[in-house]
Amino acid sequence: MKFLRWAYGEAWLVLVVTTMLWGGNGVASRLAVGRVTPMSLVFIRWLAVCALLAIALRKPIAENLDEIRKHRWRIALMSGFGFTGFTVLFYASAYYTTAVNITLLQASIPPMVLGGAVVFRGLHPTPMQFVGMIVTLGGVALVATHGEPQRILETQFNFGDILVLIACVFYAGYTLALRDRPPLPPLVFFAALAFAALVTSFPFMLAEVATGRFHWPTAQGWLVLVFVALGPSLASQLLYMRGVELIGPSRAGLFSNLVPIFGAMFAVLLLGEAFHVYHALALALTLAGIWLAEARAG
C-alpha cells in the first residue's frame, strides 16, 4: 500500500513524468532511424543540453570550477561510460532491434547493479534479492532470445539486443560509481557530466562523418533531437533529482519499474510494433524480479 500513499502530490507527479520520458527514449531511438544518424543524435543532444546548462548554471559552475578540475578524470570516466557509451550503443541498437525490446531489456540494469555491488563492494544480498535478480535476468533472457530461451546456448541473439545489454552494463557501472561521486552540488555535477559527454561523444561524431554515414537530420529528425535533448537528457534528470530530494533514493528508484511499461506501451501505440506473448511474460518476470530484489526483510 506504500505505493498508493506515494500516488499523491509532487513526488508522484515528477517521478511518473520522469519514467514516461525514459520510456519514450526507446521509441525516439526507433523514430530516429533514417531521420537522424545515431552518432549525430548523441552529439547534438549533449550540445543542446550543454548550451542550456551553460546559460542557466553559469555562476554555480564557475564557483565550483576548481572542484570540477580536481575530479575531472573521474567525471570523464563516469560520463564516458554512463552517458556517452550508453547512448552510443542505445541509439545504434535501434537499427537492429525493436523499441519494445530496447525498453524491456533496460530492466536488466537493477540486477546488474546488485551484482556489481556484491562483486565490487562486498554487499551481502538477502535471499529475496538473489531470487529477484535471477527472475529478472530470466525475463531479459526471454526477450533477448525472442521467446526461445533454450537458444541461449546456441547464441541466437539479435545484434541490437546485445548492444542494449552492453549499454546496460555501462549504465550499471555508472550507477555504482555514483555512490562515491565528487562532492559537487547535484546540478553542477550533472552539468560536468554533460560537458564531459559532449567531449567524449565528439570522436564518434567525427568517425561517422569520416566514414560517410552522416547526413543532416530531416525535419522529423530535428523533432526527435529536440525531444531527446529536452526530455530524456535534461528534464528527466532534473525531475529525478527532485523526486529523490522529496522521498529519498530507494523509494524514488522503485519508479524505474515503470520505464519498460511506458516504453512498451509507446512502442505499440506510436510505432505499431507487435507485442508478443513472450514480451508480456518477460515484462511480468522483470517487474516481479525487481520487486523481489528491492524487497526489504521484515
Q: How confident is the model at residue 5 (pLDDT cuts 50, 70, 90)?
A: very low
123 located within any domain: yes
Q: What does residue 154 show for φ and ψ, rounded to 5 degrees?
A: -95, 5
pLDDT score at 3: 47
pLDDT score at 272: 77
Domain around 149: 11-294
Query: Residue 83 and residue 148: Cα distance in Å, rounded?
Result: 32
Answering whether pTM is above 0.95, one says no
Query: Residue 43 and residue 26: Cα distance in Å, rounded?
Result: 17
2 located within any domain: no
Q: How confident is the model at residue 298 (pLDDT cuts 50, 70, 90)?
A: very low
Q: How many domains is the chain partitioned into structurally? A: 1
H/E element, 95 = none
Return mean pLDDT, the chain: 79
6 located within any domain: no
5 located within any domain: no
Arithmetic mean of pLDDT, 276-297: 68
Q: How confident is the model at residue 186 (pLDDT cuts 50, 70, 90)?
A: confident
1 located within any domain: no
Q: Which of 12-16, 63-67, 127-131, 173-177 has the highest mean pLDDT?
A: 63-67
- The sign of the dihedral angle between the CA atoms of 116, 281, 243, 169 is positive
- pLDDT over 60 at 250, yes or no: no
- pLDDT over 70 at 147, yes or no: no
pLDDT score at 64: 94
- The string of pLDDT tens digits covering residues 19-66 is 889 888 878 888 888 899 989 999 998 999 999 999 989 999 999 999
The residue among 18, 3, 91 whose CA lies nearest residue 259 is: 18
Cell output for 65: 570550477
pLDDT score at 98: 76
Q: Please report, for the chain, how many H helices and E strands are present, in that order.
A: 17, 0
- pLDDT over 60 at 204, yes or no: yes
21 located within any domain: yes
Percent of the chain with pLDDT strictly greater than 90: 27
130 located within any domain: yes
- pLDDT over 60 at 8, yes or no: no
3 located within any domain: no
Side-chain half-sphere exposure of 175, counting CA atoms within 13 A: 19
Query: Residue 15 and residue 21: Cα distance in Å, rounded?
Result: 10
Q: How confident is the model at residue 207 (pLDDT cuts 50, 70, 90)?
A: very high
